Homo-oligomer: A and B are copies of this chain.
Amino acid sequence: MFVRNVWYVVGFEKDFEAPFVARRILGEPVLMYRSLAGRYVALKDECPHRLVPLSLGERVGDCIQCGYHGMCFSSDGACTSIPGQDKIPEAARVDTYPLVERHGIIWIWMGNRDLAAPELIPDLHWNSSDRWAASRGYHHFDCNYTLMNDNLLDLSHETYVHKSTIGTREEEPIANFTPKVTMGGDCVVRAHREMRGIEAPPFFATMIGHDCIINRWQSAIHLVPSINLTVLGIHPVEEDRATARVAHVLHLLTPETESSTHYFWAVVRNFRIDDADLTEELRVGNSRTFDEDRGIVEAQQRRIMETGQTVPRVATVQDQSPIRARRMLQNRLKQEHDDPAYTVLPPPLVPEHSFAVLEEFMA
């Protein structure tokens, strides 16, 4: 079951420098590209003639030519030519999906296209802001996307899964810092924790430039159904909060199928933004961090499929935010089912100066 009347991420601008991008989205094969005029286009990736994926063919101008018998389709899904004949049958067309760019991220709408208002795209402006630097990547996980929502809302897993990267020392697990959980309307869950006077974990020591005792804060922010943000702030204890180095990790999940997920991500930071080496270092480090998650969530998925159990089977204190997110998701699915025109305008997820006002914002 997927929420359909919502925008899902299918890639970053750079991915669309290729002639086209083909991905399965909510179970449907989709072929996407940027037209010569810069418009974003998404077609069902299936030739109506003999069901061959159009992505086995070629981009010809703003059309896609099927690689089997050469039928061409334009960006509105219409067949523009069939080799050897003038008449184009009415049925020779492919479905299209709204596809738009916002803040350097490309979004698709798989629901009722009449409802596809760009205003419904959440504000992730940090990705394209020149006041922030971004390190981007993509992971493919063989698990349902909700397992990753759970993962990203309960960051206490960092201590165990990410020992060697972003976790704290085990003697002082992240779980010891109780998160404050708040809700934003019927679609946002936030879990915020302050960790004061702790040792900098390896990955953060890199960001700061040296090992020292730090204050750290961490907000896990979830927007139903599958957008997640991790807001991180760190500063040496002897410095002021307003000097904090802040990073937002954008975890942009899109269901590929019920049991697999596209995981587009970006780490954006407000410091050393011209330092290309750091940008690359963060890309590599973050990629390795998410590799650590993969083994865990894919094992969960296999066990869920084998036994039919649901998670959490036993809940902990840390499960407060994942459970709220799952309830919101159930409500959203029910609302969309009851009212096929149901959509939700996403509220702002985090203030620009998170270091300054985060606490009030979370109140």
Residues of A within 8 A of B (CB): 46, 48-53, 56-57, 65-71, 82-85, 89, 91-92, 150, 154, 156-157, 159-161, 170, 173-178, 295-296, 299-300, 303-304, 307, 309, 311-318
Residue of B nearest to A83 (CB): B175
Which of A91, A150, A296 neighbours the largest number of chain B CB atoms within 10 Å of its CB?
Answer: A296
Q: Are B84 and A316 in contact (CB under 8 A)?
A: yes
Measured between beta carbons, the chain B residues less than 8 angstroms from A66 are 160
Residue of B nearest to A45 (CB): B303
Q: Are B67 and A160 in contact (CB under 8 A)?
A: yes
Contacts A49-B314, A52-B300, A68-B296 given; 18 further ones with Cβ under 8 A?
A49-B311, A49-B312, A49-B315, A51-B309, A51-B311, A52-B303, A53-B303, A57-B160, A65-B160, A67-B161, A69-B157, A69-B316, A82-B317, A83-B156, A84-B173, A84-B175, A84-B176, A85-B316
Residue of B nearest to A67 (CB): B160
Measured between beta carbons, the chain B residues less than 8 angstroms from A57 are 160
Measured between beta carbons, the chain B residues less than 8 angstroms from A70 are 156, 159-160, 170, 173, 175
Measured between beta carbons, the chain B residues less than 8 angstroms from A159 are 70, 83
Measured between beta carbons, the chain B residues less than 8 angstroms from A46 are 303
Measured between beta carbons, the chain B residues less than 8 angstroms from A315 are 49, 89
Q: Are B85 and A313 in contact (CB under 8 A)?
A: no
Contacts A51-B304, A303-B53 given; indicate if A318 touches B178 (C-beta within 8 A).
no
30 contacts between A and B (CB under 8 A): A48-B314, A49-B311, A49-B312, A50-B300, A51-B300, A51-B307, A52-B296, A52-B300, A53-B299, A56-B295, A56-B296, A57-B160, A67-B161, A68-B157, A68-B160, A68-B296, A69-B157, A70-B156, A71-B316, A82-B316, A82-B317, A83-B176, A84-B156, A84-B174, A84-B316, A84-B318, A89-B314, A89-B316, A91-B313, A91-B314
Bound CA–CA A242/B71 (angstroms): 36
Measured between beta carbons, the chain B residues less than 8 angstroms from A178 are 84
Residue of B nearest to A317 (CB): B85
Residue of B nearest to A92 (CB): B314
Give A210 Cβ to nearest chain B Cβ, in Å. Answer: 28
Measured between beta carbons, the chain B residues less than 8 angstroms from A312 are 49-50
Q: Are A303 and B84 in contact (CB under 8 A)?
A: no
Q: Are A160 and B69 in contact (CB under 8 A)?
A: yes
Contacts A69-B175, A70-B175, A173-B84 given; indicate if A49 touches B316 (C-beta within 8 A).
yes
Bound CA–CA A159/B81 (angstroms): 15
Contacts A176-B83, A314-B89, A315-B89 given; indicate if A50 touches B160 (C-beta within 8 A).
no
Residue of B nearest to A179 (CB): B84
Bound CA–CA A311/B68 (angstroms): 13
